[in-house]
Structures are given as structure tokens and as C-alpha cells.
Copies of this chain bind each other. A is one copy, B any other.
Amino acid sequence: MNSDFTLAIHSLAFLALQPDRMSTSIDISESAGVHPVRIRKVLSLLKKHRFIQSKEGTGGGFIFSLDLSEVNLWHIYQLTSEGALQPKCPESNNQCIVGSNMQKVLFTIFLGAEEHLGDYLKNYTIKDVVDLINQKQ
């Protein structure tokens, strides 16, 4: 599983806890323990899909632009990691009945698996994640 997914969740949760002011990529990167540029890359994707807003220049940064309970983990998974479950099969042998059909069969099965995973991830909104964080506190 791609860590862009978890970085996105981390960032959104961070922003959710700073609803009144903008947070910079450095703020978030220090919380998440990664390089600010990675944060910007991930957040640039979230911005493109209107989950957050950003502002350049002094006092700029990122801020959550939707209601916390409008965004769930499936939304984020789709942006950052769709297809990640799909295994990368090497080119297999077309002379062989197994080799020639396995790829299609697995593709079908993993497509279903991802849908199924989606049903689970839809149950967690950013609000839920924030609540869980506060509980642990």
C-alpha cells in the first residue's frame, strides 16, 4: 500500500485540527516526518479535487475546504492509490492455458477486492479519524 494514502490522511487530519488558520507544508511535514515537497505533491492532488484550498505567499499554506464528515477514506484512496491492490503480473506464457488466462482472472478478482475494500473505507470519514486521534490522546 502506497504511503501517499496515509500521508494524505495525515495531512487532512492535521488540517482538520487547525480549522482557523493555514498550515504550511513545513508544519505538516514536521508532524508526518517526511520532506515538505512530498507533502506539497500529495496536497496538490487533494487541492485539485477540492478537498483543500491553498494560498501562496506570506501567511499562506493549506486549509480544509469541506466539512470533515464529507470526506471519507475511500475518496482519498481513489485519488492516491487506486489500482494499488492490482498485482503486477509478469508477462506469462500464452502457450499455456494457465499463463494465458491467469492475468485476466486475477484482474477480475482484484477489481472486486478493491470495490470491497471501498465499502469498508467509506465507513471512515476524516471526522472519524480525528475523533479516534482525540480518543487516543
Name A residues whose Cβ lies closer than 8 Å to a Cβ of B.
1-3, 5-6, 9-10, 13-14, 17, 30-34, 73, 84-93, 96-99, 101-102, 104-106, 108-110, 112-113, 116-117, 119-121, 124, 129, 132-134, 136-137
Copies, count? 2
Given A117-B116, A133-B105, A14 and B98 contact (CB-CB distance below 8 Å): yes
Contact assessment for A89 and B3 in the assembled complex, using a CB-CB cutoff below 8 Å: yes
In the complex formed, the residue of B with least CB distance to A86 is: B1
CA distance A3 to B90 in the complex (A): 9
Output the nearest chain B residue to A97 by Cβ-Cβ distance.
B137
CB distance B31 to A96 under 8 Å?
yes
Say whether chain A's binding surface is mostly helix, strand, loop, or mixed: helix
17 A–B pairs (Cβ distance < 8 Å), ordered by A: A1-B85, A3-B87, A6-B89, A9-B102, A10-B99, A13-B98, A14-B98, A30-B93, A30-B96, A31-B92, A32-B99, A33-B91, A73-B109, A102-B133, A104-B136, A105-B129, A113-B121
CB–CB A108/B132 < 8 A? yes
Contact partner of A87 (CB less than 8 A), chosen from B5, B85, B108, B137, is B5
Beta-carbon contact of A87 and B1 below 8 Å: yes
